[in-house]
Amino acid sequence: MSVDVLRRDFRVLELKNYGTERKPSYTIKMELEASVRETPDEMHHIFTRTGLISRETIPFEAVNFRGSARGDAPFYAAKILHEGVEREYKVIARELGGFKALSYEPVVIPEEMRLLHPASFHRAGVKVLSFEMHNYKPHFALFISSKRYESFDLWVHSEEEGGKTSLRALFAEAGMREKKPPCVWYLRRLSVFGSDLEEEAREFLKFNRDKASEQK
Q: pLDDT tens digits for 123-155?
A: 999 999 999 999 999 876 544 445 789 999 999
- Strands annotated E in the chain: 5-17, 26-36, 76-82, 85-97, 103-109, 127-141, 144-158, 165-176
Average pLDDT over all residues of the chain:
90
Q: Give just the sign of the alpha carbon dihedral 160, 51, 8, 216.
A: positive
- Would you place residue 94 in the very low, low, confident or very high pLDDT band (cuts 50, 70, 90)? very high
Helix or strand run (H / E) with residue 46: helix 40-50
Task: Count the domains in the chain.
Answer: 1
116 DSSP assignment: -
What is the rounded CA–CA span in Å between residue 7 and residue 207? 23
In tens, the pLDDT along 14-53 reads 999 999 989 999 999 999 999 999 999 999 999 999 999 9
What is the span of the domain harbouring residue 61? 5-213
